[in-house]
Amino acid sequence: MEEPSDDENFEPTPKKIKRDWLNSYCYSNKAMGMMKKMGYEDDKGLGKSNQGRLEPVIAVQQDGRRGFGLKLDTVHWSAGKWDPNCEDLEIPEPVIWLKIEGKNCGAYTLDELMAHMVTGPRKLSLDDETLFCDPEILDHILKAKTVFDDLNDTEKRRARSRCNPFETIRSSIFLNRAAVKMANIDSICEYMFTEPRDPQGNTLLGHNELLYFADICAGPGGFSEYVLYRKSWEAKGFGFTLRGANDFKLERFFAASPESFDAFYGDKDDGNIFDPSNQDSLNNYIRKHTPHGVHFAMADGGFSVEGQENIQEILSKQLYLCQFVTALKILRVNGSFVCKLFDLFTPFSVGLVYLMYKCFNQIAIIKPNSSRPANSERYIVCKNKMPETDAITNYFSTINHILLEQSEKQPEEQLDVIELYNRKEMLEDEHFMRYIIDSNNAIGNKQIVGLRKIAAFAQNLELKEPRHSEVRQECLKCWALPDKLRQAPEVKTTDRLLEELLRDWSKDRAWLNVPALELNGRTPLQNSILNVSDWHFMPIGRGEININGCTLFLCKSRGNLLRYTEHRKWELVESSFNVQPRSIFFGEIVFEYSGEGRTSQCVSALHIMDAICLGGIDIRRRPFLERVALCMKYARSLNKPFKKERTCGAIRCKPIFRLQDMSRFFNAMRPYVLKDNSQRFGYTLDDQRFLVPGGIIIFCELTMNFVTAYSKSHQQIYYFNTITRESQFKEQIEPRRFNEVFASFRHSYTRRHLWKWTSTLQVEEHATEENPKILYRSNFEKFIQRKLMSNPN
């Protein structure tokens, strides 16, 4: 790689120049003839003594109103300082952790912390902020930044793109570069965000628990797109950002589907993170969904500081503060946090970091490779939140109130918070101070090299960065991202999508049309249910609306939900449900009620019972109860029960009961008075709405030839093959024979039973009638008791 020339006659080569024009044999014959008549000879300069230049003057693209040939002294000086040997690439980049030492957050009180606060006139310069870095490094950074005052935006962008070895990665498959940065950070931090663990290495996720996260100051949503790309509907995100031009662009999420993302804008509905009521309302909203708080939070706030780049840290101080305090409010114990910062030279910023260091098990300040080396951007990663952070959280909130109050005053009357924590005490913490100084110096040196490299590339248009392709491939592999371009999801025909989702079940689709066995009397019951312990049931609706009915649903694309009709066709569901594409499941659309009598209201809801594929995740051959549990998790991820303005119907997985617990189900129901003054038995759902059942649908969890039995000697369940008379405990079943015992979706679907209630009399506790075509509750419960007595499990 060439270094910029110091020759004052050096002419930069424009991007579009054809270098072979400099070779004489490329001139036209006519031009060469004219030149030779005037005395031109190959490889000799023009002029009496051949003292002229050997090549023509190169046409350089003119930017702005700058004069031709103008030399920019600052650019020239900075470019001359660039040394290619100082650029050090590490893939993956190391992460140096700072583990908490000394007293932690629980040892502080609000009064004690308030004594640390120092106020004074607002600073507008970083020139003397050398307490937390090498003074020479700070001076070089500020000088290198001033170079860009002499370059226009086009020159800066072109030079930056050409010189940054990581530039061609761009946004990869995502909406923007922020998503790639999050992929980079997650990777080098051993996936601590998408696979969260406690300090002992145990997973933070409970059984079938969603991964809850928050994305603060995050529009248009790149961080969240990455998390949903990695976790799909197994994660549920809460977004908070300013409304307007920088709002979330969920419709542009191509790498992931945004159905499990819930944008919230606070009590003021404006997304202003500085507003304390917005912070608190976000916390309250999140804890309605997950009382313990989110597993991790991300913050990517920033704003334009054009012309004030050297004091970006000062201008961003309140943004830092509000992102930190919001994270502390919404995180659960052992939760983690990542936040974008800029320079960390002032006592205010370092004090913030110091107090966050006291709130977490460990922190790290990193400059990921995906962050352009010439900017001051860096990220603080806080791992495993400690308990008892209330004092520091309240202190941060108090500081924010002070800053808001001061902003209401006239400029000449305003005071600023200069320090959050006594600098003398921070200096005594040698462990922390060494870390901050080393971090600032390391990132500062990298930034200086990056800035000088841009200057060199802006001055010399012939310079090239040869490692673009190699670096791109290595980084994408390290971050577990595909090496392909971003593209919109393909909208496939119904038949083609069914072939993909049904796979080997697609060739013969006759099973789709198998009706449920209706239990119209006692005879079907006796003949079809051998062991009640193997069967489970779910309540279904009454068929109040014409699209009601238990059937298969297919989500082709966003907002494109189809249902399988009795005419064996797929038709569009007109009601709006927030279902993730590439899902095929068995369910029904029902009315859910709230209130009674004249105040009774009903809304349509989508109830899922069983599934083949959820958001592209194939679950068809998992055991029945495991599939139902995943359907519950899927519905929790997509449903937004606390949204003020709900534009989509509710989604939930139906409540499931063991058949032998039928009496418990009926005892849980109570009479409700509907709007027409009719009285119906209703089952209360988990959000105080209720369903008026019109029957139950019954599924078997085992295949046709198997039943469960109880071994008294081993005191556990075993599985008995009624054909071969063989018995096996669950741990004895070979993986390849697992599906011979446990029913796949197709097995459960084709063997389902339906008990429809044609009158309320059928479900009254002691009602009965000698009618062979009607099955009463009392008949069913007696049948269950007889079966349990003959085959107790």
* Residue in this structure with the two tokens 């044609």, named with its chain if needed: 758
- pLDDT at 773 (0 to 100): 80
The single residue of 340, 385, 556, 787 carrying the catalytic annotation is 340
Q: Where are the domains of the chain?
A: 84-198+209-470, 494-545+619-702+742-790
Secondary structure in 3-state letters for 191-256: CCCCCCECCCCCECCCCCCCEEEEEECCCCCHHHHHHHHHHHHHEEEEEECCCCCCCCCHHHCCCC
Active site residue 181: yes
Active site residue 300: yes
In the structure encoding, which two tokens stand for residue 519, read together?
A: 């239990």
Determine the Cα–Cα distance for residues 607 and 135; give it in Å rounded to an integer: 64
Local structure of 329: helix, strand or coil: helix
Q: What is the pTM of this model?
A: 0.89
Determine the Cα–Cα distance for residues 561 and 228; give it in Å rounded to an integer: 21
Per CATH, is 84-198+209-470 categorized as 3.40.50.12760?
yes
- Please count the other Cβ atoms lying within 10 Å of the Cβ belonging to residue 736: 7
- The low-confidence residues of the chain, meaning pLDDT below 70, are 1-27, 43, 46, 48-80, 147-149, 522, 544-548, 792-793
CA nearest to 649, candidates 703, 589, 707: 589
* Residue in this structure with the two tokens 């996936």, named with its chain if needed: 191
Q: Are 683 and 691 in contact (CB under 8 A)?
A: yes
Determine the Cα–Cα distance for residues 704 and 739; give it in Å rounded to an integer: 11
Residue type, 77: W
Backbone angles phi, psi at 305, to 5 degrees: -125, 35
Write the pLDDT tens digit of every residue in 205-226: 999 999 999 999 989 999 999 9
The single residue of 186, 262, 300, 343 carrying the catalytic annotation is 300
Write the pLDDT tens digit of every residue in 66-111: 555 555 555 665 666 778 888 889 999 999 999 998 888 989 999 9
In the structure encoding, which two tokens stand for residue 793, read together?
A: 């499990």
The single residue of 81, 145, 181, 633 carrying the catalytic annotation is 181
Backbone angles phi, psi at 552, to 5 degrees: -90, 145
Active site residue 654: no
